[in-house]
Structure 1
Amino acid sequence: MDVFVVEVVFCAIVFILSFLIYYRLRETYKLTEYKGLHYFSSTFLFLGLAYFLRFLVLILLYDQSDFGSIWDPRSLMVFSIAFMIYSSSASILYLIYSLAWKWSEVFRNEALLHSLAIIFAVISIIHRPISIFSIQIALLAILSVVIVLNYRSHEGDRKTVVGKVYPLYILLFLFWIFNLLLPFRVVSFDFRIGIYALSVAVLCIIGYKVLRKL
């Protein structure tokens, strides 16, 4: 099976699942007006945007002869990388803040989250590829700490909205860990397929829990 086809299908699936989950979470947020769900739903909005652009770029760059007169492949690639880093960073930042918003008075304005995501994108473009990996590792490390702290502070709230969505944070953390390995060229095709399969499985589980049980 061609790597291109697999990646296009993977991006399309992640995009569709992310926006289905986002739509359902927004409906739940309107009913509960729980701010944490607003930030949590934004996680999937930006995750979906990142993979939607990745999907489009793969399609456009598949045959550069057809698009060479319209698109500059280099400019398109730089833009796509910057936007994907921005979107993925915003997604993780929203996930972190959906757990930590009650603790902080600093990030009451969501524009600050986007500013951080833009800064991360600029840094990654200037100093890639090590900076991309380092930023993702740092954000995931912060996320893991916040998940643990939040778990300890809500041990008696398992039947509340917080308690119901908490397992989803663990699944999302696993999703990012899986996909953190994909940029490395040494990753074999079979291993890449395994990561794609695990990632889709994680999102399917999240989608099932959100669409049917939340």
Structure 2
Amino acid sequence: MDKGAAAVLLIALLSLTALVASDGAQGLGDIIYDADDDLDLPEPGQLKEVGRERRQTWMGSSIQHANCRLEPSPGSTVQGSLFLFQKRWRWDYVKVKGSLWGMMEPKERFEVFFHEKAPPSEGDCDATGDTLFGSKGYEGYLGQVKAKGYGRATGFSRGSRVVTLESDRPNSIVGRSIVVTSLATRKRVACCTIQGE
């Protein structure tokens, strides 16, 4: 490699590094954790303002957006509201932002997944099929959430590089579901249908 080609490659790598840093997201495999993940939201009523802010930030540049209102399964108090966005011009990954609340035990942990099917009715989380699978393993995994306890809301801000909101692609998640599972009981405690807008 001559000096000119090496210089071009170095500039490209530095630009890529700056772009990742400016996005405020830290990647771990195919899951992206934003700087504002686990934001402390004391009141569920603040969710509307968070959603408005997220949409104002992303709507202008995203090619696709969707929402998902988490409803508790029978016997659960976990709820939430999530907004999904995709910006093809940068990384072509799906960003999931919003809030979960109703988790009563402090530090209780939950896992969040994309699932194959939408629940046939609100809170019917056992009917959402399996977690999305693919050649890379758990395509549907969005990581863990640690409860703040006493029903307080916590912010959720993640991203996935292996799914899309484009309905004509085989890895599309529109019309599928997001499911929250308790790590302690392995039960599905909340779920929602991903609805395109």
Q: Considering the TM-score relative to the shorter chain, is it more than 0.5?
A: no
Identify, as 1 or 2, the structure richer in strand: 2
Structure with the bigger RCO (C-alpha within 8 Å, sep 6+) is 2
Identify, as 1 or 2, the structure richer in helix: 1
TM-score, with structure 1 as normaliser: 0.25
